[in-house]
Structure 1
């Protein structure tokens, strides 16, 4: 039984393998599985209703008994329509239930190690996990018997903690390259004077070793087996060949591991042929073949690393080490590629820690800095006993930390008659405070001395006015001194709302320290009338980094309906939106409408996230391929270097090829469907960027033409203020052009246009110019013809008042949006 007030246990819940570690005596210990391994394969085998195997035995059955075994279900976490069948047991399990079985196995290993089952552990998740995936992970922990308050921490963050714990350097920048079985994460880490923090991270929740395994099967092994053994329609999306393909997938995974130590590996797999008999398939897989197949996946990971550095305003030359994490990083071809400054990243590689266990180690280190939630309450305390709520950091870098507390009792007492004393009898030297008198509220605060690089355990004594010691819960505490202070958990992806124009308004930026809360005021874009029972104000809650809201993942919806308000809600009404995110990235959103004194809570339905159907994914794929073809053509004519660079990057990553494979596999694999959906969303956003880049040359030309016209007008009749505004427009326009920001360029073009109109409006012939502009905007009709004739007579008579009246009537004939534009120009 452990005597610790910190969580101490860390779990890496992986796609392929999982692991558990614990902090003991100031060091990290990997807890062995029943098989004596540091890792437990994330696989479940259920041959009977009441018999469940987890780990190596289950992993071996995934190929030989696929109807009763499951693996790689982490990629399906958070999907309501994901189920795995266990035919002999007559059961279906969801990904959280399957993950719970893995966690139960790890928890049992911990119980064997320490004598009792831990109720808390820090559990790692990919940095790119969405809210529904994080929630599913918490659900799995609860099903496994852990407390629902188990903290979640991002995998690259945990890896950074592990390296920082063992590193003696005071300062440096590191990059974490975490290529696991199902996900990829890149993180930029800073260590400064004992403070270790993740500055930025990027990732892909569906980029992992599993993709490389399937690519080996689909591009090398399956075609060869079909040719050698005469297997027809031997494809992944053909369920008739599921067992054969599963065997090839297992062989590919094992060969990939073996190729980390050898140049080539012979594969021998017994496959079932058309007549039901078994034949042996042989293939000699070379390391260069593996590298060729894996190339686009390596490129994608490297590009994410470069983007993470750019976002952090750092360069390769600023980085001291590249920390390799995850089984894929054992591949020699990948390591060689990463070390190359031109083809890879060019940062010095660090492999001093085992890449397969480093995440679990880091999670345990972080767990050692977190206090276990206090369970004692007044409801369970007998009269005359006391409960203390202590305030202190369990892991510190100072030798003299502050400890505070507030005591409560089930009966009323005069706290000023009570004292507390804190002592560490095993300290070097032993330490004991003076008697500390409590204030009228039962509170106290004091400094204590702790020993360097170890855990100091304190006894807390409570005495009453007679000097009698009273029973206090808890009456012990421990504080560990470390050289490194670990930054808190950070928000993995930005959170915000989608505005009426589909723009994304982030309220919480990626990297915000959790837990956190933020409030921001918005305004409704349309009126909500109580008489219109079908009306509704919808505010999508979205998660992601893309400027267009609908290119991010929708995680909830705020809805305001007529029945919810007491009075009509005019357009432009204030809506105060509050986001509240806890330490495990679980979010709540509330909208407060002051005008009607009402609050509305967003429906964050994380339990009903489903994948698109294979048919819908195919339609989206067809649409995106047509769009890509069109953009290739427009890029060729626009001569935009940025557009061409982005198109080349898509080709280097084989984006469309991989997407086609994922859409095809979606027919038989829910995880592949989820990956395809995410990749389609990502590709649409990247095509948005390419589209903006192809428009840049034309926008820049329009900006320069506008600035030239504005310059002539300002020189003719402008004021000092006009000249100053023109100079500012030139500066902002050039900045937008240099940044390649199409949206900012369009905004500057609009401002230049407004300045031109303002300058022209001051000229005596402005009403005439406006008249002819309006005439060109209106469709032919009798009313327009009559107004045109009347306006021409006013121009001939030089009657400005009459012409202005004609212009006003012409404006009223325009559509509402055009009226607002013209009126805005007239008021410029």
Structure 2
């Protein structure tokens, strides 16, 4: 068995690939189906018991869509998603379909090796994948026959490996531009003195070549076909036309690929007609038409790159190379735009590696640094000995340490036993002295390895008499590399949704994984053990928005009566610990100090379902209404800028197309939901931008009033507090942070009130300022009673009683109206 995993798999939306690292070389394994480097991610079930995968299946998608599944990666993690195969009479989930692709790749590897298929592989996932999507990928790997525990690595990270382990430069910044069939990822990568590190990610799980293909169909080919052939209601969401649209989709994808080599291409598709016959549709598609349709998607990808650079504190001129990954990057129009400093990024393009296989290549490089999952330990047979080794299989030093602990089938004092580590093929050959074991059978030793090579060692065991003994395992290999990976990073903040819909991040974006963090919360309801149906259910979300429902729901944290030994009253403290492993898989432990109990809470990642077409139409209608309202405020520069971004990225057009297709395409439904969530979040920002200018003016006016009043009091502590308020206010204004500006208005108002309260006649002025302003106080009996008490206190000259009345009156005023009090008493 191999010491390291060595096999890397790019499990793609459109195409997949497998590569193997063998010592100092990496080989992309060709498909047994057609001897190509890539395997189409397609599954065809023509009859019960027969499954075709790859090119044969892809070729059937155009003519037999009812029995062919493609692009199911976009449905990973959706509990109700799946494909029913009419002829075979079965339904397969996205993980089961993905498992068929993985099985085919394993078979290709077995054929290449002329031996058994690999038992483990590093499998890549988009950096923007959510927890449930990662979990579904792990499930697919197990279904395909891989051992549990196969690591996941993010696609842009794998691509950085492929480039980083071939690049001779010592210091550089790169950006990975990964535009695949279904997803887009951008990653800023640093290479410094042998350390390869991902600094920041940005991405979109539903931005890929598939969207461009369907946009070509919906906006160009289908309307032209309807005109030419006289087709009515020729739309993708009409099931009557599903065969025709399947053929158009295939034709659009093939035309897009052809246009990477030529300026125009002929599209020829046999389409169904309303008479039940078929008729040939012909259309000449130009590169210009493709670029026009694809432009909004290019713009969105470029904006995500700019976001990743901004969050990393880097400008485009600080990035040395733009590493192109994914089939879409073969498009000449996209490459021209990327090279343009104004319309694109203006970063030098690096095209040395094949963008369709570079992720698999890098995954294999990474796999060569990961030890193979160890089989379950078994007691050695009589007369034999086992060893549990500890060492790094990939290092940047030439003198690594190897440690281990010997095992026997019985209790044994290992005093007098020794081991020898030998590499006879080393340059020069290496053989250690006899390394004595301690009583427990443990040892540690430094070995010498060759630079930039894989050194293979044998481990020899000798008993106290010097006689050799049989040892299993007795080999290990260590590869010297000039580059070491600095660790993956969390691509989204991870936390929980609070009762007020706020988002409480527990782990922040950018944290190096594996990592963990703990936060304390209080339960909003009681949990009684006698109530079997009771549950404390907390949504787990990932994203960066302060409103939890603007982020992506990825699971549910559940605490049930069976998890605790006593009833929990409302308000009970619960310490929640989130732990993320190197594959971005999450476990959660909840600790309840009240009952001194700790238990592993369940994160339900299996209840995320496909949104209904009806709910998506409702969300779309609400977004369109909000967009119309936002356009009414486009006289403000900040609003115009944000609306222009939405327009440039074609957000509304894409949302409408995906919502329309949602009734017949689960992938489109998932895309629509994600896009709508993002659209509503951006409209939140537009609304904030519209509210910000008047609030900024109000804050500056309050600060001026405070300055004038503080000058009269001439107190040093007032001057100091005012200086702090001005500094904090300027920071909030510079950051264009609406909520921070609102907080500063409240703080400045409170400061002004404190200053005014020291002036003669303050209680009376405050009372009249509040009571004489129409509509400021609520029309309640409590307010009327307080006004009457205040007038009586003024008549009696009782200033202390009037102050108590004022305090209660202020509490009746809505918080966002309290800042007006200062203006009323000037």
Cα deviation, 1:736-774, whole Å, max 9, x if unaligned, reads: 111111111111112112211222233453433454466
**Structure-2 residue corresponding to 1:825:** none
Map of 1:321 onto structure 2: 321
Q: What is aligned with 2:661?
A: 665
1:530 to 1:279, Cα distance in 2 relative to 1, 3 A: closer
* Structure 1 match to 2:237: 237
Q: Summarize the alignment of residues 13-28 of structure 1 with structure 2, pairs less than 5 Å apart.
A: 13-28=11-26
Aligned residue number for residue 171 of structure 2: 171
Secondary structure, aligned partner of 1:356: coil
State the match for 2:455 in structure 1: 456
1:126 counterpart residue number: 126
In the other structure, the counterpart of 2:506 is: 507
> Does the alignment pair 1:153 with 2:149?
no
2:791 aligned residue: 792
Post-superposition Cα deviations, 1:318-369, rounded to whole Å, max 9, x if no partner, equal 0111111111111111111111110111100111101111010000000000
Equivalents in 2 of 1:38, 1:809: separation in Å?
76
Residue equivalent to 1:692? 688
- The whole-number CA distance in structure 2 between the counterparts of 1:781 and 1:308 is 53
Aligned 8 A contact 2:749 2:819 in 1: no
Deviations 1:423-470 (A, max 9, x none): 111111111112222233332222110001110011112222222223
- Alpha-carbon distance, 1:475 to partner: 1.4
**SS of aligned partner of 1:166:** coil
Q: Does 1:71 align with 2:70?
A: yes
SS in 2 for 1:344: coil
Q: Which aligned pairs between 1:237-636 and structure 2 lie closer than 5 A?
A: 237-375=237-375, 377=377, 379-523=378-522, 528=526, 538-559=537-558, 566=566, 569=569, 571=571, 574-599=573-598, 601-636=600-635
Cα distance between partner residues in 2 of 1:757 and 1:595: 42
Offset of residue 246 of structure 1: 1.0
Residues 228-286 of structure 1: CA deviation (Å, up to 9, x unaligned):
11111111111101111111111111111111111111111122212222221111111
Residue 27 (structure 2) aligns with: 29
Bigger Cα displacement from structure 2, 286-295 vs 592-601: 592-601
Report if aligned partners of 2:746, 2:819 keep a CA contact under 8 Å in 1. Answer: no
1:12 to 10, 13, 24: 10
Map of 1:110 onto structure 2:
109
Question: Shift of the alpha carbon at 1:803?
Answer: 2.9
Q: Which runs of 5+ in 1 are unaligned?
A: 823-828
Residues matched between the structures, number? 813
- CA distance in 2: counterparts of 1:313 and 1:489, whole angstroms: 19
SS in 2 for 1:64: coil
* Cα distance change on mapping 1:467 and 1:289 into 2, 3 Å: same
Q: Is the 8 A contact 2:527 2:536 kept in 1?
A: no
Contact residue 156 and residue 186 of structure 1 kept, 8 A: yes
2: CA distance, partners of 1:411 / 1:66: 61
Match of 1:49 in 2: 48
- Return closer, same or farther for 1:780/1:19 CA change in 2, 3 Å cut-off: closer
Structure 2: 5+ residue stretches without partners: 821-826
CA 441–694 in structure 1, closer or farther in 2 if over 3 Å, else same:
farther
Question: CA offset at residue 584 of structure 1?
Answer: 2.0
CA distance in 2, matches of 1:784, 1:152: 63
- Counterpart in the other structure of 1:228: 228
Task: Note the alpha carbon deviations across 1:544-589, whole angstroms, 9 max, x for none.
Answer: 1222212111223345679958466465x54321001222222122
d(CA) in 2 for partners of 1:781 and 1:645? 44
Determine the structure 1 residue equivalent to 2:823: none
Q: Does the Cα contact within 8 Å between 2:527 and 2:535 map onto a contact in 1?
A: no
Distance change in 2, residues 1:528/1:819 (3 Å): farther
Comparing 557-566 with 89-98, greater Cα deviation is found at 557-566
**More displaced 10-residue stretch of structure 1: 798-807 or 780-789:** 780-789
* Cα RMSD, aligned residues only: 2.5
CA distance in 1, matches of 2:783, 2:196: 71
Name the SS of the counterpart of 2:343 in structure 1: coil
Q: Distance in 1 between matches of 2:219 and 2:568?
A: 62
SS of alignment partner, residue 216 of structure 1: helix
Q: Contact (CA 8 Å) 1:15, 1:74: kept in 2 or not?
A: yes
Mapped to 2, the partners of 1:393 and 1:128 lie a distance apart of 29
The CA deviation at 1:796 is 3.1
* TM-score when normalising by structure 2: 0.94
Deviation at 1:593, TM superposition (A): 2.7
Flag the 1:380–1:735 CA change in 2: closer, same or farther, 3 A: same
Separation in structure 2 between the aligned mates of residue 407 and residue 9 of structure 1, nearest angstrom: 29
How far apart, in 2, do the equivalents of 1:809 and 1:649 lie? 47
The offset of 1:596, in angstroms, is 3.6
Q: Kindly state the Cα deviation for residue 718 of structure 1 after the two structures are TM-superposed.
A: 5.3
CA distance in 2: counterparts of 1:610 and 1:531, whole angstroms? 30
Cα pair 1:617 1:676 within 8 Å, conserved: yes
Q: Kindly state the Cα deviation for residue 713 of structure 1 after the two structures are TM-superposed.
A: 2.4
How far off its partner does 1:808 sit? 6.7
SS of the equivalent of 1:203 reads strand
After superposition, the C-alpha distances for 1:359-393 in whole angstroms (9 at most, x for unaligned) are 1000000000000022251x342244333222211
Q: Contact (CA 8 Å) 2:555, 2:607: kept in 1 or not?
A: no
Residue 404 of structure 1: how far off its partner (Å): 1.6
Aligned equivalents of 2:329, 2:254: Cα separation in 1: 15
How many Å separate the matches in 1 of 2:689 and 2:651?
19
Match of 2:824 in 1: none
Please list, as runs of the form range in 1=range in 2, the aligned pairs for 1:629-778 lying within 5 A after superposition: 629-636=628-635, 639=636, 641-717=637-713, 719-772=715-768, 775=771, 778=777
Aligned-residue offset at 1:604: 1.6
Instruction: Determine the structure 2 residue equivalent to 1:135.
Output: 135
Q: Which deviates more, 514-523 or 417-426? A: 514-523
Look up the SS of the partner of 1:289 in the other structure.
helix
| CA contact 1:577–1:589 (8 Å) conserved in 2 | yes
The 3-state SS of whatever aligns with 1:585 is: coil
In the alignment, the residues of structure 1 paired with residue 165 and residue 529 of structure 2 have an alpha-carbon distance, to the nearest angstrom, of 64
Are 1:17 and 1:42, in contact at CA under 8 Å, matched by a contact in 2?
Answer: yes
Q: Which moved more, 1:712-721 or 1:353-362?
A: 712-721
The secondary structure found in structure 2 opposite 1:237 is: coil
Question: In structure 1, what is the Cα distance between the partners aligned to 2:158 and 2:110?
Answer: 23
Task: Please give the alpha-carbon distance, in whole angstroms, between the structure 1 residues aligned to 2:790 and 2:512.
Answer: 64
Which whole-Å CA distance do the structure 1 matches of 2:174 and 2:810 have between them?
Answer: 62
SS at match of 2:615: helix
Q: Distance in 2 between matches of 1:226 and 1:570?
A: 62
Deviation at 1:412, TM superposition (A): 1.6
Instruction: Please say if residues 309 and 315 of structure 1, whose CA atoms lie closer than 8 Å, have aligned partners that are also in contact.
Output: yes
Contact 1:131 1:606 in 2 (8 A): yes
Question: 2:101, 2:743 → 1: CA distance?
Answer: 54
Within 1, Cα distance between the matches of 2:143 and 2:528? Answer: 45
795-804 vs 207-216, which moves further: 795-804
Counterparts of 1:385 and 1:111 in 2: how far apart (Å)? 31
Secondary structure in 2 matching 1:603: strand
Equivalent-residue separation in structure 1 for 2:170 and 2:370 (angstroms):
23
Whether the 8 Å contact between 1:556 and 1:602 is mirrored in structure 2 is no
Look up the SS of the partner of 2:544 in the other structure.
coil
| Aligned equivalent of 2:79 | 80
Distance 1:587 1:279 in 2: 53
